[in-house]
Amino acid sequence: MVGSILIFLLVLSILVIVHELGHFLVAKKNGVWVEEFGLGIPPRIYGKKIGETIYSINLFPFGGFCRMHGETSEDGISEPKKAFLNKGKLARVAIVMAGVVMNFILGIVAFGIVYSFSGIPRESKNVKLVDIASGSPAQVAGLLVGDVIKSADGETINSINQFVDLVEKNKGRKITLVTEQSLPAGRQVKKIILTPRANPPSGEGPLGVVLSTTEIYYPPVWQRPFYGVYYGSKDAFFWGKTVILGFVSLISQLFMGKVPNDVSGPVGIFAVTTEATKYGLLSLINFVGILSINLAILNVIPFPALDGGRLLFIGIEGLIGRKVVPRIEATIHMVGMVILMLLILAITARDVERLIKAGSLSGFIQSVLK
């Protein structure tokens, strides 16, 4: 359990630190005085000033922060030209959005690493068996997971639809399949005779098999980072779209007075992180990518205390031609933070209740994914 907690804290810390690093780099680029860039949550254990910024390590080993001069209030501004509030709208937008962009980039990198090591999925003309039902005609006849269907009754098979159509036409009658499978000793070709069921059990087809034409391609090592970035970007946009649709569904349910069942907080993230770790490092890295995209989308929601809330106030400034009074904006962000914390506590309480009822992390995850 201690190991799981440490991995959980490490994962969330990476997500937060990368996010804050985005703010830090772009703030520096735009001449904003970054007073402190810290790892963990204060109080400070150690700090060293390099240039005009204090780089610190803090007591609670979770996340990090980037404290900019004049970030939320005009009080205490000693260097007006280096204050965040006094920078132009475009500079402030760039600084605020930098964290979101960095999380999106982290997602792409995480997915790219996974693809670089686990291979690139691509479509082929090989119809392969990826699962076989127990007691099905396929199992009884001796078909194995990994077998590629080369032909059926003398007809060369090039697609799943072609094979399914042929099997459907021959339900209740014997057919002859020629299969091939790659083994360490070489390719093994088999001839199998079997009879597709006319009335298969619910959830199974006439043969009781699951088919796929997807194969894993391993490009040359030097090409893998490029393939990884390409497919990683596709995955990042896919998950971004999925998260956005999820939020739209969540808001719709709330307006209709329904309590969403598929929303989870820190306890849920801990449970899924622990489960992902069981399947190895690549599974964990893939989950980090998904979380990072989630964090990126979450932060652009126009709600006080989030980056999207700051963007909203900059947009209002552009519309009315003057800044919202900093004290008012800071108060609104503070209220937003309180609301967010209360929401997180409520979700956490429900997660704990569901975890207790489920009796295990695996059961809890299944309840979340229902």
What total number of domains does the chain contain?
2
Q: How far apart are CA 290 and CA 269, in angstroms?
A: 11
Q: Residue 176 forms beta bridges with which residues?
A: 193
Verify that 167 and 110 share a domain, yes or no: no
CB-based contacts of 169: which residues, under 8 Å, 6+ apart?
none
The last residue of a domain, from among 186, 217, 248: 217
The last residue of a domain, from among 217, 239, 258: 217
**Count of residues making up the chain:** 370
pLDDT at 267: 63
* φ/ψ of residue 134, rounded to 5: -65, 135
Residue 183 CA to its chain's centroid (Å):
35
Verify that 114 and 134 share a domain, yes or no: no
The last residue of a domain, from among 217, 247, 281: 217
Residue 298 structure tokens: 């979450």
Q: Which of 127, 129, 136 is nearest to 208 (CA)?
A: 136
Domain region containing 319 = 2-118+225-369
Verify that 98 and 130 share a domain, yes or no: no
pLDDT at 54: 95
Residue with token string 């201690």: 2
Verify that 209 and 133 share a domain, yes or no: yes
Verify that 59 and 79 share a domain, yes or no: yes
Verify that 53 and 31 share a domain, yes or no: yes
Verify that 331 and 184 share a domain, yes or no: no
Q: Give the CA distances from residue 215 to residues 69, 131, 148, in Å, rounded to whole numbers and listed in that order.
A: 53, 15, 11
| CB 141, CB 179: distance < 8 Å | no
Verify that 126 and 114 share a domain, yes or no: no
pLDDT at 24: 95
Verify that 100 and 232 share a domain, yes or no: yes
Element (H, E) at 364: helix 361-369
Neighbours of 62 (CB within 10 A): 15
| CB 265, CB 348: distance < 8 Å | yes
pLDDT in tens, the chain (370 residues): 667 778 888 888 899 999 999 999 999 999 999 999 999 888 899 999 999 999 999 988 778 899 999 887 777 788 889 999 889 999 999 999 999 999 989 988 998 888 888 888 888 888 999 899 988 988 998 898 888 999 998 899 999 999 999 999 988 899 999 998 877 677 888 898 999 998 888 888 899 999 998 888 888 888 888 888 888 888 888 877 777 776 677 667 666 666 556 566 666 676 677 777 777 888 889 888 888 888 888 888 888 878 888 899 889 888 888 887 778 888 888 888 888 777 777 767 766 766 666 665 566 556 555 5
Q: Give the CA distances from residue 59 to residues 63, 200, 214, in Å, rounded to whole numbers and listed in that order.
A: 11, 62, 49
pLDDT at 262: 59
* Maximum Cα–Cα distance across the chain: 88
Element (H, E) at 132: strand 120-132
The domain that holds 209 is classified in CATH as 2.30.42.10
Q: How far apart are CA 37 and CA 39, in angstroms?
A: 7
Verify that 251 and 322 share a domain, yes or no: yes
